[in-house]
Amino acid sequence: MTWFTEGVKSGVISAGTVLADTGPLPSGVHSVYEMMLSTSVDAVVRLEWRNAANDGTNISQTFYLSALAPAIIGPAFSVGDFATDERLRVVLANGLLAGAVQASLFFV
């Protein structure tokens, strides 16, 4: 199992900030074992399946998070049949004026 996170982001955080990124993946079906999300203020994050060039999103899922209520999504969900160099990432969908947020992908 591999753990992907950009660590805790805090202060003023702009929309689109990457919170977790698998980096380029080999082709094939991949599964996320768990996704963990935590924020000190209400926030909106988006799980994105990115194309091989990492310049477009194939599909995404938005999550609305309440302050101080960590979310754990899992166990194990298959994402799909990836082409070479596609990736998964979690980004902040809304900007935060003050607060902290972290996302982690546990990948198998």
Query: What range does the domain containing 29 cover?
Result: 2-107
Query: pLDDT tens for residues 28-74?
Result: 888 888 999 999 999 999 999 999 999 999 999 999 999 999 999 88
Q: What is the CATH number of the domain that holds 13?
A: 2.60.120.260
| Bigger pLDDT: 76 vs 61 | 61
DSSP 65-79: E-TT--EEE-S-EEE
Q: How many domains does the chain have?
A: 1
Asked if 92 contacts 15 with a C-beta cutoff of 8 angstroms, the reply is: yes
Q: What is the mean pLDDT of residues 90-101?
A: 91
